Amino acid sequence: MKPETRFVHAGMQPDPSTGAIMTPIYQTSTYVQEAPATHKGYEYARSQNPTRKALEDALAEIENGKFGLAFSSGVAATDAVIKLLAPGDEVICANDMYGGTYRLFSKIFERFGIKFIYVDTTDSGNVKNAVTANTKLIWIETPTNPLMNITDIAAVAAVAKANNILLAVDNTFASPALQTPLTLVPI
């Protein structure tokens, strides 16, 4: 399928209960269970919700991912990613990032013992040189908000892969219409 067709149909499954083409907005909080843990994949809205699942499947499709996870804001998603880490872990990140991301890192997570090393990621050599035994995550944003600096995702992904480090790409500005980071990582 061409990208425009994939974007239109991404994640769409007729609703199994009614056949509705568009997934309805499910506003229920809890779901019936035949027995404890025996259910149709949905038990409580914070954990699973069919409307959110349709969005997650659509995002996975257009990002060329295996699965998607939706959050109520970008900063909430960033917050969840950093919580994969533990005190003492190091993150290499851009010295030019969205202000909300920088504030989350410097004002909240530094207090919990996570170390952020800020480099000019537009040169992947700077990322490579900043790697230490404690580096657990490389966080890049490309293009950056607001300066539109560009980082070579494939080059940084190669550094991450060679050192067994997680890589996160904030793709907000390009969107998957223009840039799909998951297709730029070495397999």
Ligand X SMILES: Cc1ncc(COP(=O)(O)O)c(C=O)c1O
- Contacting residues toward ligand X, per CB under 6 A: 73-75, 98, 100-101, 141, 145, 170, 172-173
CB of 70 to ligand X, least distance (A): 11
Taking the C-alpha atoms of residue 166 and residue 177, their distance in angstroms, rounded to an integer, is: 24
CB of 104 to ligand X, least distance (A): 9
Q: Kindly state the DSSP code that residue 111 receives in the 8-state scheme.
A: G
Q: Which is nearer to ligand X, 122 or 163 (CB)?
A: 122
Q: Which is nearer to ligand X, 74 or 113 (CB)?
A: 74
CB of 6 to ligand X, least distance (A): 24
**What SS3 state is found at 108?**
helix
Q: Which of 93, 133, 125 is nearest to 110 (CA)?
A: 93
Tokens for 19?
Answer: 């056949």
Q: Which is nearer to ligand X, 30 or 72 (CB)?
A: 72
CB of 182 to ligand X, least distance (A): 17
Tokens for 130?
Answer: 């900043």
Taking the C-alpha atoms of residue 7 and residue 175, their distance in angstroms, rounded to an integer, is: 12
Q: Which is nearer to ligand X, 61 or 170 (CB)?
A: 170
